[in-house]
Chain A
Amino acid sequence: MDGVIGFFEKLGPNLEILVARMPQILDGIQATVLATALGGLLALVIAIVFGIAQVAKYAAVRIAARIFVEFFRGTSLVVQLFWLAFVLPQLPYPFGWRLAPLVVAVLALGLNYGAYGAEVVRGSIGSVPRGQYEAISALSLSPMRGMFRVIIPQAWALMLPSLSNLWIQLLKGSAIVSTVLLYDLYFRVEQVRDQTGTWFAFLFALLAYYLLAWVIVIIMNALEVRAKHKIGRGPALSKSWGMLFRAPGSVVKGGALV
């Protein structure tokens, strides 16, 4: 029995099924969290490396970075997953790697969202005021040192709200990794659906993903408050715990939300 009425009629038994299946569901949550955390970390590294490479002095570096970004941004995440899981093992030696499902998921998520992130990093580097670049030049600091000591710390505060959005998208995008046999949260919910019906199972899935997304929002808000405080825009985190629960990128003036 399905539908709204079925949902309420069978709420009790369904909850019992959910509790009974909780060990597997927790396994799924663990897989989703791992793929999201490691994929996010890889995406961050790729975003920073290729974001900076796109503003490099040498044209060859810029063009190579540009091609990389366009390729992984422009090809579907599903296709990338299938390539890594099913095509890569068939390639001749030395490329015939058979990767574990988690590795496939982390690589594909990291490459795909890292390519988007690289655009965010590039944009935020370009948003640091021109005067900062001029001051670096006027002090004869090398462009490399200026980039890492002056520009990146300021760009970091600018890029965090967008990176936060990307990371949440990565979490939600990770729901397709069961297609390459990583038994994630979505896969486990699918299993429960057989017994409980679509209404109950997918309502649970909505809630579970929503709560996971909130964890990301809180982590990223903490990083953003800290980064903004470091460049003199906003209060310290220890004085503004409430900021952890607001929308990413909110403007803060004098400790109050605006």
Chain B
Amino acid sequence: MRILHYWRATVGIVGRELLRFLHQRERFVSALVRPLVWLFVFAAGFRAALGIAIAPPYETYILYEVYITPGLLGMILLFNGMQSSLSMVYDREMGSMRMLMVCPLPRWFLLCSKLIAGTAVGVLQSYAFLGIAWLYDIQAPLMGYVWILPALVLAGMMLGALGLLLSSFIKQLENFAGVMNFVIFPLFFMSTALYPLWKIKESSEVLHTLAQYNPFSQAVELIRFALYEQFNQQALLFTAAAFLLFMGAAIMGYNPSKGMMVKKGGGGD
């Protein structure tokens, strides 16, 4: 009976997130506009300046647009993870998060379900982006679109877990802008999303080290290799380890005895 309860709750939480997503069409469009602008404008503009040499998983010279496509998929998942955490802060401020916390299920399970729900939305957005990229002539091998699914799921879970962790620290919605500047931009720009590691090394050794150990870089590489039907073990292990670390810390953050919620208080009187 307990398993049935857990199953129904997961279906309920994921279903609610998908329903909200369907009802908020502007959210879907805006989630796609950002990476598409990067693809159509930024990548086209920098095509000549940023030539990419042959490096795995690519077997030939590629256009810059082709190179940054996995990075832009990572961008979708990163922003989606952060948006989920934004909605957690909003939900907590507005009280609906409290409704979730009062139901008779363990906190870790509720957080995992929220994470699965957010990731499902991110994966849908990623496939929509891949569809548009296909029409723009950025085409990977057909099986790559199947291989990429587990990579997108793991990357989405890792970035969503980071969002959950951040949401446990943020007391009010206004503080979220700072997190965007201090988390999203450094994660994205100090990664292999826009330029390969060897290119970063040419300009700065420190930046190269930071980019190499940036979990977002590893997630992007996992996606990049999967899209070309290849397996990157290091990226998989690194992304999985980062997911476990962020998720464990997020669960601690929401723990009713020890977490950040206790320190921050519930407000009101």
> Real complex partners, A and B?
no
Which B residues have a C-beta under 8 Å from some C-beta of A?
Answer: none
Which A residues have a C-beta under 8 Å from some C-beta of B?
Answer: none
